[in-house]
Amino acid sequence: MTPESQASEALPSRRSRALRGGRHRGDESFLLPPGSPALVLAVPGPASGQAGAVAGELARAVELENTGQPALVASLGGGPEGLGAVLSRLAPARPDEPAAVVVPLVTGPDPAIMSVVSAAVATAPVPVVAADPLGPHPLIAEALHDRLAEAGLARADRIRMMTMVTEAGGVVVAPPGDQAAVRQAEITSVLLASRLACPVFTAPLDDEAALRGAADQLRASGVRTVALAPHLIGPEVSPDRIARAAVAVGGTAAAPLGAHPALARLAALRYAEALAAALR
């Protein structure tokens, strides 16, 4: 049984998972009945520009591919589309349930972001539950693999019948944040190494010395080419930070995860887990 299935089976019977056919429906769906608590994607920064575009695309994928119900987007930057304002406009459909589950749109634990989410949840005028960040999870490794393959830096998933064969001999996974973020990303690195059958190291995105050190270790082990895999969605950092990190490892960077379908599946999963825990 997959983690997604375990989470969905933990929900009360009226929220049990049902699979819906059709080419736009994934293998794992968390179909929600009308009146279910809202799923709110909490976006670092303003809910406009690139951040808003990525979040909006993920929200649509959450609805169409996973839950069957609209997902809301809220900014952690405040304003009328800020998380506090969005939560203040909600009301629970049933007295024994929360009005919303807030899913932080980050790939791993980030103390600064989680503190903003916790404060908004604690001060909301209605009962609200905060979910865990999207990662670590095997689906993050799947998404990183896809981005590397799209850039010609890794063999693509054979199950998808893709034929790209250009590949890096080693990969440096680079998360934003401190050593705690690196430790979380190391879990994903192990999973990615298993998928790629090549060595994968982890180093902070903004620590050029650590990035160079990771690349040097890869080359010392016989690796000839090194790729950078940004362990992030994208809007939370500027593109030049990724470019500098690629220079530090002496290789090419894959694109950020962006609105990868795996992240929409993870958002639905984190929602299901948090709601199951709240309704116990």
Q: What is the pLDDT of residues 212-221, one digit of tens each?
A: 999 999 999 9
Q: In this predicted structure, what is the pLDDT of residue 27?
A: 47
Residue-wise pLDDT for 7-43, tens only, equals 333 333 333 333 333 333 444 567 888 889 999 999 9
pLDDT value, residue 164: 40
Q: What are phi and psi of 172, to 5 degrees?
A: -110, 115
Angle between helices 208-220 and 239-249 (to 10 degrees): 40
Does the domain at 138-253 match CATH 3.40.50? Answer given as yes
Taking alpha carbons only, the member of 111, 103, 270, 109 closest to residue 183 is 109
Confidence category of residue 167, pLDDT binned at 50, 70, 90:
low
pTM of the model: 0.84
* CATH topology assigned to domain 19-134+261-279: Rossmann fold (3.40.50)
pLDDT digits (tens, 9 = 90+) for 233-261: 988 888 999 999 999 999 999 999 999 99
For residue 239, whether the previous peptide bond is cis, meaning omega lies within 30 degrees of 0, is: no
Match 């893709």 to its residue by tokens.
Answer: 162
The pLDDT confidence band at residue 227, using thresholds 50, 70 and 90, is very high
* Strand-pair partners of 228: 172, 253
Positions of CATH 3.40.50 in the chain: 19-134+261-279, 138-253
